[in-house]
Structure formats: structure tokens, C-alpha cells
Chain A
Amino acid sequence: MNMKHSEQELILLKEEVIQMWKFVITQIEKSKNALLNDDIELAREVVSREKRVDLYELKIESDCENHIALYAPVAIDLRLVLSLLKITSSLERIGDFAESIARYVIMDNSTILNPKIVVELKVEIMFDLVIGMLTDTFALFNSGRTDVYGKILCKDDEVDTIYKNSFNIMTQFLLNNPTMIRSGLELILVVRKLERIGDYCSNLVEDVVFYVDAKVLKHKPVIKTEEYLDGNSEETDNQNDTEEE
């Protein structure tokens, strides 16, 4: 049986999001390399490519609106379109953070970034964690295998822990290096952006799980059990969810 036109349209829509997702992963990777290697040229490239992320968002939003208006999707099709709208919005925000980090590299070129504090703050580890979350969620989206979502969400906890520790580390550093206050504060903002990227990656996980399993994970207390780590926590379907925050 030939695929229906509405199905083909959905596949194209999903493909657009896949392209945007890959693009945003590249943006984060480039902003990481720009920051850690103080590569201003690379940072400028990230800034100039940010416009493409915005264009992706506008195009996908418009296509989702058209799909809803023309095809009135239901069931898994409806969940996909609703999820794509949210996923696109989260990816756009992550793209913004990648650009902001790149702008920090460009702006901070008059100040030599102290490599020791970057290591102490675990900036590279944070980058790797959020890039891992973004990549793993992308794989989840493509495969529809949501049984591992708990492992991805746990990475966000690691990001949060690093972020919380960063204040004490930076305070101590600035007490010893009072001439670097401006640069240090800017660097804390970078750490903050990485923490926010982790949050947006968690949102992506929630959106993919909603699309695939119709489960609502939002505003659930984090349950640190093996079940949770395996992605098999006892979330009920949409009808039984209550706001627990």
C-alpha cells in the first residue's frame, strides 16, 4: 500500500527537525572547541551560523501549524507534531546558548583565560555531558527506543552538581585573582548556560517520551532507583497525570 500524503508530510517534517538537531549539536561542539582553545575564528563561525537555527525554527513551526490546520492529526501523529513544536523551541534555545558562549570567546579575547580555573570548574566535562545528552536524545528520537531515557536524565543531575559547586570554586579563585573578576563572572555565566542547556536537553527527553509512549514526565519528582535509571519508572499515561510540583 502506498504511503498516504499526510504520512509523507510528517516524515518530511520529522526530517527537518533531524537536520536542525544535527546542526545544533555541531553548534555546541564548535562553541566548546572555540572556548577551550580560545579559537575566535571558530567562535565567529558559531555566531554567524546561529541565524540558520532561527530559520529552522521558523520553518518547522510554520510547517507544524500547516500540518495541524490541513490534516488535523490525531493519536501518535498529533503527539509527534506537538512534540516537534516543543523540540524545535528547545533546540533553538540551545542554539542561542551556543551562540552566547561563542560571543563570550570573542568578547573575552583581551583577557587570557586561566586554563586552571576552566579545568577546576569542569567546563569541558559539562560540555561533554550536555553534548552527550543532546546526542543520546537524538538517538532516542530516531529509534523510538525510550527505555533508556532515565540514563539521559541522570546526566542532567551531574551537570547540576557541577554547576552548584562552581560558585565556591570561582569565589576562591577570584579572591586569589582579583584582577580577573570580570572574566571570572563571565565564565560563571558560561557555566550557567551549560546548566541551562542540560535543562533543555531534559525537556527534549520529555518531549520524545511523550511522542513515543504518550507518557508525561514533566513535573515528576526525580526517583533515584534502578527502575528510573532503566527508564521504567511508573509514570502513568496522560489521563492519569497530576501536577505534582
Chain B
Amino acid sequence: MIETKNINFYYGSFHALKDISMKMDKNTVTAFIGPSGCGKSTFLRLFNRMNDLIDDTKLTGECYVNGVNIYQKSIQVDDLRKRIGMVFQKPNPFPKTIFENVAYGLRVNDMGDKQFINQRVEESLKGAALWGEVKDKLHKSAFELSGGQQQRLCIARALAVSPEVLLMDEPASALDPISTSKIEELIHELKKDYTIVIVTHNMQQAARVSDKTGFFMLGELVEFDDTKKIFLNPENEQTQNYITGRFG
């Protein structure tokens, strides 16, 4: 589904990602863990070319989604970002109604008529486990929702354009435990239809939601394996030291 080959990434002269190769299968959840500044979010943002928006950066290596190198010249980045949705650390709904937030991507991409949009908004809100809580106030401002609901609204917004992959950059780090639990349950459900890549600082969260875990350190992918293996018997001593909290 997603494969990288010898990825190197530079912010100016800073070598942020060092020769990273990995494969992520369809309908799996892959978690990236590691200390701040290790490169995990930079690596995540490669998959929908969000790093293109940053000046003075350089990328070498290859990144394939469904066998297509997403950095080849013929790739339309807007189309790519429809296929690969993203949810950020802080919920960032648009200053619009709940309905319009979800419908936004469909409207700007001219995807379907009014009936289709209504249907897709409902499906997306159901997919994000939010429909039951908002179905009677679809035309209220998205800012009236709680933080956890806003984050699920952002997930619904990403789902509306039928992506293949969902990228999540610390999606629950600003949420309380109940909202976090709902997001984690949602990830389990979404896995049936989407391939999910999540960056998290919460190692227990990585253990709970992911099938595979990659541990990053100083721009290197130190270890990438089944989550059960990483959390019971990691091969690398650095991984063990990090997940057991032995790094100062």
C-alpha cells in the first residue's frame, strides 16, 4: 500500500530523515513513536506531500502509494491529498457549520449533487462516530462542539472525500481520556476501510491501536516491527530503553 525507499529529507542543511525504507500494508494501522524532533511527523507528512509547503527543504528517495511514486512530476498534489487525508494534533474545524465542514471537501472538488453531498455528510459523520451526537444540530457552528467532537468532525471531514489513507499526527494529544478513548475506538473501526498511519507520543496508545510500530530516533528508523513484538521483545536496545522510559 505505502512503501518508502531510502528516504532522506533535509530542512536546509539539517538532515532530518536518514535513509528510511519501510512498507505499510492496506487496512493496517502503523504507529510512529520516538522522542520530539526524531523525524516521525516529518516522515508522516511525506505521504501527502505536506512538506512541499515548507521552504528550503530537500527530499531524496522514493515514496510509493499503491505502486505509484507520489513524488513524480505527473502527480497532482491536490488529488493526492484527496486520497490521503490528514488529521492534526489540534482540532481545526473551519468557521462554518458542522454540515459545511464535512461538505467542504466535496464542494470544492465539485464532487456530486446536493443529494449526494447530504448522503456523504451523513455517512462520514457516522464513520467518525459523531452522527448520533450532531444529527439534530448539523447547521450549528462547529465551534459549539467539544474538543473531542471537533476532532471527530475533522476526521469526518477527511473521510468525506473517500480517501484511501488517513494520516494522524498526534490526534488525541489535546483530548481528555474519554475523547481519546473514542478516537482510539474509531481508529479500530476505520481500519476496516482505510489504511492509517499515526504519530503519537503516547506509547500505550501506539500499543492499543496499531498493528505495526516504527521507532524513530535522531532521524533514523531504529526499529519497525509488529506492535506486539516491539512492546514485548524489541530487538534494539534503544527501542527498549525508550519504551521502558530509560531515556533521560
Answer yes or no: are A and B bound together in one complex: yes
Hey, which bits of chain A sit against chain B, CB under 8 A?
1, 4, 6-7, 72-79, 214, 237-239
Contact A75 B226 (CB under 8 A): no
Tally the A-B contacts, defined by beta carbons under 8 Å: 40
Task: For A72, give its contact among B204, B226, B233 (CB under 8 Å).
Answer: B204
Across the two chains, which residue of chain B brings its CB closest to A237?
B233
A238 and B204 contact, Cβ closer than 8 Å, known pairs A75-B240, A77-B244: no
A71 and chain B: residue at smallest CB distance: B245
SS of B interface (majority): helix
Residue on A nearest B233 in the bound complex, by CB: A214
A-B contact pairs, 15 of them (CB 8 A): A4-B245, A7-B246, A72-B204, A73-B244, A74-B203, A74-B207, A74-B243, A75-B234, A75-B243, A75-B244, A76-B233, A79-B233, A237-B233, A238-B229, A239-B229
Q: Are A74 and B232 in contact (CB under 8 A)?
A: yes
What is the bound-complex CA distance between A71 and B10, given in angstroms? 37
- From residue A215, how far is it (CB to closest CB) to chain B in Å? 9
Closest to A75 in B: B240
Q: Identify which of residues 225-240 in chain B touch chain A, using a CB-to-CB cut-off of 8 Å.
A: 226, 228-234, 239-240
Minimum C-beta distance from A146 to chain B (A) = 14
CB contacts (< 8 Å) of A77 on chain B: these are: 244
Total number of B residues with any Cβ neighbor in A under 8 Å: 18
B248 part of interface (Cβ distance < 8 Å):
yes
* Complex interface: chain B residues within 8 A of A79 (CB): 232-233
Closest 3 CB pairs of A and B: A214-B233, A74-B231, A1-B248
Q: Name the distance in Å between B43's Cβ and chain A's nearest Cβ.
A: 23
For the A-B complex with A75-B234, A76-B244, A237-B229 known, give 6 more contacts whose Cβ atoms are closer than 8 Å: A7-B246, A73-B244, A74-B232, A79-B232, A238-B233, A239-B226
User: A4 touching B243 by the CB < 8 A rule?
Assistant: no
CA–CA, A7 to B233, complex, Å? 18
Q: B240, A239: Cβ atoms under 8 Å?
A: no
Which of A4, A78, A214 is in CB contact (< 8 Å) with B246?
A: A4
Give Cα A203 to B193, complex, Å: 44
Chain B residues, Cβ within 8 Å of A78: 231-232
CB nearest neighbor in B for A6: B245
**Closest residue on chain A to residue B248 by CB atoms:** A1
Query: In the complex the two chains form, what is the Cα distance from A237 to B229 in whole Å?
Result: 9
Query: A189 vs B248: C-alpha distance in the bound complex, in angstroms?
Result: 55
Q: Given the complex of chains A and B, what is the CA–CA distance between A78 and B229 in angstroms? A: 12
> CB-CB < 8 A to B243: which residues of A?
74-75
Question: Which of A6, A74, A237, A239 has the most B CB atoms < 10 Å from its CB?
Answer: A74
Q: How far is the CA of A79 from the CA of B230 in the complex (A)?
A: 13
**Chain A residue contacts of B230, Cβ below 8 A:** 75
